[in-house]
């Protein structure tokens, strides 16, 4: 991103979309996870196997939902793909390149919006550019375009604490897109929102991902959210986290609000739910 | 009547009663004028000092030198505390070196250092500034370290994910996060600086409000002593208000500041 923010001037397409979609390399999957294991406190009595030999992929331009019960290590896996933490063994590639530290190809969104209350909305969005040493004025237009894309016009100069929870996560979406990541890593971004707002945000997020032509991996414990957002749902078991199975959701790229309550979607939600159930024993305890 | 007006009136009523009783006891000859002068004598003395301060500039020099000592001591002490606190919060080596010294410093009754500083630095402003700085240091140091370590895990993960350098993370996240902690301690430090400057003057000085207080005490001019006490308190209050004002401007975003604004 240093290179990106350092030299390249941003151009905008005619539709006013924020930023061009960089051509995908195509030869490699967007994300490739090969036999990844994570052990906490290795070689101590408190040793804990969190992730056990996980392999999965996100194809270029694909949106994958990683569905699993709380504590199954799905957030850990996501953060390892983002380069925040190392895997104990196994390999992770983003766009064909091994992940060793946070790179410019990935953008992350967290359970909380994680906005800085001392910065205005526009400056929160500009943060990734600013930390790479770019001038504020240089990327102001792009930040404003992203804010418009997320439906937040008029709130550029507001402070995060003046916004609702849903609006704050919209700001977090803009900030994530600021560095033009090709792969979006989303860690239960709407988990803290109420049901109605969450569904609306799911709709918006899906729209933005498709319109911006990105690949995405979304972590969630909600089967409805997983099936609605994902082109594919990967289901994980809990501790140690393993892949339980996956569900293809061939409902097309553009998904509308009507789909949320449709029987079509329900088929896939049930399928995902039954995979989740398989991962538990008869008392409902995770296996 | 508003809640505010009610509080003010109740307070004023209590003040009138207390002052009235005090005045009565003093005038009836129950207490020696030297031990506790009547409020009217104190007001007279305050008036005398204030009018001389502003018209004849008689005590201007004393007020100015004490103000100078408080402000310099405050800036030196809290500035050093913020710098060293930042190093301690960020670097394990700095932590290992500095912590034993700060524990030793905190265990020393700092007022007891005053005579030593007078021996080392003489009767000028320097020993007073240093005593004020030493007393200021500790609260600001502790709060700087606590504040810099108050960042949340997800905030650090965010900074890592946008590939912010250590310096960037410090400057754009940790420093603003620590500001509410630091400002809380700066208010304490300002009061401490006033104590330090006055103590320093007690230990040996040729001018300053502390010197005037001691001079008045030596001559048993108790009313005059109260008058200088009033001036030095007023000075400390004004400086404190300046810090509180700056705090509201700088950390306008903190939940506490926002609550206060709503009230």
pLDDT tens string A30-75: 899 998 888 888 888 888 888 888 899 999 989 999 998 877 788 8
- Is B154:A110 a contact under the CB 8 Å cutoff? yes
Tell me which residue has tokens 């100078």: B68
In terms of CA atoms, which chain A residue is nearest residue B161? A102
CB B243 within 8 A of CB B186: yes
Output the pLDDT for position A187: 93
pLDDT of A195 higher than 70: yes
pTM of the model: 0.82
Tell me whether residue A52 is exposed, middle or buried, using C-beta atoms within 10 angstroms of its C-beta: 0 to 12, 13 to 18, 19 or more.
Answer: middle
Please answer yes or no on whether B163 and A117 come within 8 Å at the CB atom.
Answer: no
Residues 6+ apart with CB under 8 A from A85: A38, A76, A79
Partner-chain contact B157 A159, CB within 8 Å: no
Q: Tell me: ipTM over 0.95.
A: no
Is residue A52 within a helix (H) or strand (E), and if so which, with residue range?
strand A48-58
Output B159 or A12, whichever has higher pLDDT: B159
A55: three-class secondary structure by DSSP? strand
pLDDT at site A11: 38
Query: How sure is the predictor about A281, in pLDDT bands with cuts at 50, 70 and 90?
Result: low
Phi first, then psi, for residue A157 (nearest 5°) are: -95, 5
> Given CA atoms A247, A253, A257, A263 in this order, what sign does their dihedral have?
negative
Average pLDDT along chain B: 89
Tell me if B158 and A108 make a contact (CB, 8 A cut-off). yes
- CATH classification of A2-278, choosing from 3.50.50.60, 3.40.190.10, 3.40.50.300, 3.90.1150.10? 3.40.50.300
In this prediction, residues A160-172 reach a mean pLDDT of: 91
Instruction: Please compute the mean of the pLDDT values over residues B246-251 and round it to a whole number.
Output: 91
Q: Cβ of B158 and A118 within 8 Å?
A: no
Task: Give which of B153, B156, B161, B251 to mutate to test A binding, by max A Cβ within 10 Å.
Answer: B161
| Domain locations along chain A | 2-278
Query: Of A239 and A226, which is predicted with more confidence?
Result: A226
Provide mean pLDDT across the span B107-127: 87
* Domains, chain B: 59-262 (1.10.3720.10)
To the nearest whole Å, the CA of B161 is away from the closest chain A CA by 5
pLDDT bracket for residue B49 (50, 70, 90)? confident
Does residue B61 surpass a pLDDT of 80?
yes
- Smallest CA–CA distance, residue A163 to chain B, in Å, is 13
Which residues from B are below 8 Å from A101, CB to CB? 163
* Residue B239 or A237, more confident: B239
Alpha-carbon gap, residue B151 to B145, rounded angstroms: 11
Interfacial residues of B (vs A; Cβ cutoff 8 Å): 152, 154-155, 157-165, 168, 172-173, 176, 179, 251, 253-255, 258
């Amino acid at each position: 991103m240093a290179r990106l923010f350092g030299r390249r001037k941003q151009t905008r397409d005619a539709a006013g979309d924020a930023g061009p979609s960089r051509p995908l390399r195509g030869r490699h999957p967007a994300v490739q996870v090969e036999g990844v294991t994570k052990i906490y406190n290795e070689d101590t009595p408190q040793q804990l196997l969190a992730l056990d030999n996980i392999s999965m992929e996100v194809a270029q331009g694909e949106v994958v939902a990683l569905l699993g019960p709380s504590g199954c290590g799905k957030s850990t896996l996501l953060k390892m793909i983002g380069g925040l933490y190392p895997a104990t063994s196994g390999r992770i590639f983003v766009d064909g390149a091994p992940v060793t530290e946070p790179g410019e190809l990935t953008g992350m969104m967290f359970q909380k919006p994680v906005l800085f209350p001392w910065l205005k909305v526009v400056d929160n969005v500009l943060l990734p550019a600013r930390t790479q040493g770019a001038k504020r004025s240089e990327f102001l237009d792009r930040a404003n375009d992203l804010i418009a894309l997320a439906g937040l016009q008029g709130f550029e100069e507001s402070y995060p604490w003046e916004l609702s929870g849903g609006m704050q996560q919209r700001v977090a979406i803009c900030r994530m897109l600021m560095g033009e990541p090709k792969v979006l890593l989303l860690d239960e971004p709407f988990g803290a929102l109420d049901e109605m707002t969450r569904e609306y945000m799911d709709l918006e997020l899906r729209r933005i991902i498709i319109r911006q032509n990105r690949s995405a991996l979304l972590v969630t414990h909600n089967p409805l959210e997983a099936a609605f957002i994902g082109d594919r749902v990967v289901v994980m078991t809990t501790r140690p986290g393993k892949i339980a199975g996956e569900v293809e959701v061939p409902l097309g790229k553009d998904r509308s609000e009507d789909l949320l309550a449709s029987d079509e979607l329900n088929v896939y939600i049930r399928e995902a739910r039954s995979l989740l159930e398989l991962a538990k024993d008869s008392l409902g305890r995770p296996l | 009547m508003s809640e505010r007006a009610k509080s003010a009136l109740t307070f004023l009523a209590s003040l009138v009663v207390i002052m009235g009783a005090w005045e009565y006891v003093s005038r009836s000859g129950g207490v020696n004028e030297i031990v506790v002068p009547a409020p009217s004598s104190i007001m007279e003395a305050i008036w005398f000092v204030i009018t001389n301060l502003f018209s004849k500039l008689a005590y201007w020099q004393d007020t100015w030198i004490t103000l100078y000592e408080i402000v310099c001591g405050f800036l030196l002490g809290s500035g050093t505390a913020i710098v060293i606190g930042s190093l301690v919060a960020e670097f394990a080596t700095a932590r290992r070196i500095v912590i034993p010294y700060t524990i030793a410093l905190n265990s020393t009754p700092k007022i007891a250092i005053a005579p030593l500083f007078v021996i080392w630095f003489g009767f000028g402003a320097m020993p007073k500034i240093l005593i004020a700085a030493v007393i200021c240091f500790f609260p600001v140091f502790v709060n700087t370290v606590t504040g810099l370590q108050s960042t949340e895990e997800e905030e650090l993960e965010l900074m890592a994910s946008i590939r912010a350098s250590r310096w960037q993370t410090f400057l754009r996240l940790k420093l603003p996060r620590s500001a509410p902690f630091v400002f809380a301690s700066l208010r304490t430090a300002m009061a401490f600086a006033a104590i330090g400057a006055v103590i320093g003057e007690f230990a040996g000085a040729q001018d300053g409000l502390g010197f005037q207080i001691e001079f008045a005490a030596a001559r048993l001019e108790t009313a005059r002593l109260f008058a200088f006490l009033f001036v030095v308190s007023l000075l400390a209050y004004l400086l404190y208000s300046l810090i509180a004002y700056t705090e509201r401007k700088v950390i306008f975003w903190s939940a506490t500041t926002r609550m206060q604004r709503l009230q």
